Amino acid sequence: MAKIEPKTDVFVITEMTQPAGKEDKCPMVKRRRCAFEHYLQPCLAELLGTSLFVFVGCASVIGNEGNHGNIQPAVAHGLALAVLVVVLGQISGGHFNPAVSLCVYLCGGMEFPLLVPYILVQMFGGMTGAGLAKAIFPSIKYVNTHGGVFTVDPAALGETVLAEVVMTLFLTTVVSMGAINSKTSSPWAPISIGLTVTANILSGGVVSGGCMNPARAFGPAVAAGHWCHHWIFWVGPLCGALITAIFTRVFLGDLKTRLILKCQ
């Protein structure tokens, strides 16, 4: 892999090296610094970002108790995600979502050794953010809103799964085409991603809550002890991410990303 500057594009994790002419004299120090910036620092950024995102998400739902409509949660989730991608994206890629990390890996935007650590720290970040929300809000408000847990109509499980698949497909398509694919990448990707989350919650929140993120579902489920139909918020988002990866790799990706139908 070609060497690049020691920062990464949003949603893309690549090899990091020291700038030319500034190599460390001690190889051990250099190796430790590269390992920190390539593995530990991105994982810490994902942990912090996911914690803050899930906290804002849960707090917006708990604070919206008694109000009908999804405007407050939709705006809160979208704004929080956009800001976090802007400030942490150059360190970790700004995923904060296991489904997004899976899609980014399958589209060639990150290395496999980072995939499992990312998912693990995202799950722990989800628990941390949900725990902070539980500690801050009055217990009566927390109980009345199930701590921001996504609830499902047992009579509409199929519709709920489909809604999560479609909404995550929309989100991961914006990530893939706006931040990974070089032919269509845009500096507006963080804002576009945040707006996509807002639009999805406004449109599909009434069906599934607009999760699109297993970490966002897992954290509140642990904090509140509410696991009813939790599998939906893994199956739906991961299927949506897989569909996006297939479309990107087969049809929509640039020459580097696309696996077939390349120009000679």
Mean pLDDT of 144-172: 96
Check whether 23 has a pLDDT greater than 70. Answer: no
What pLDDT does 262 receive?
72
In this predicted model, which residue has the larger pLDDT, 219 or 259? Answer: 219
- Residues 262, 260: Cα–Cα separation, whole Å: 6
Residue 24: band (very low, low, confident or very high) from pLDDT cuts 50, 70, 90: low
Over residues 93-117, the pLDDT tens digits come to 999 999 999 999 999 999 999 999 9
Mean pLDDT of 50-57: 98
The answer to whether residues 184 and 197 touch, using CB atoms and an 8 Å cutoff, is no
- What type of residue is 241? A
Pick the closest to residue 42 from 18, 9, 78, 20 (CA basis).
9
- What type of residue is 59? A
- What type of residue is 159? E
Check whether 6 has a pLDDT greater than 50. Answer: no
- Residues 133, 130: Cα–Cα separation, whole Å: 5
Check whether 25 has a pLDDT greater than 90. Answer: no
Instruction: Name the residue with tokens 């939790």.
Output: 230
Give the CATH architecture of domain 46-252.
Up-down Bundle (1.20)
Over residues 167-205, the pLDDT tens digits come to 999 999 999 999 999 999 999 999 999 999 999 999 999
- Residues 53, 77: Cα–Cα separation, whole Å: 7
What pLDDT does 8 receive?
42
Residue 124's Cβ-side half-sphere holds a number of Cα atoms within 13 Å equal to 12
DSSP, residue by residue, 188-242: THHHHHHHHHHHHHHHHHHHH-----HHHHHHHHHHHT--TTTTHHHHHHHHHHH
Domain boundaries, the chain: 46-252
Residue 4: band (very low, low, confident or very high) from pLDDT cuts 50, 70, 90: very low
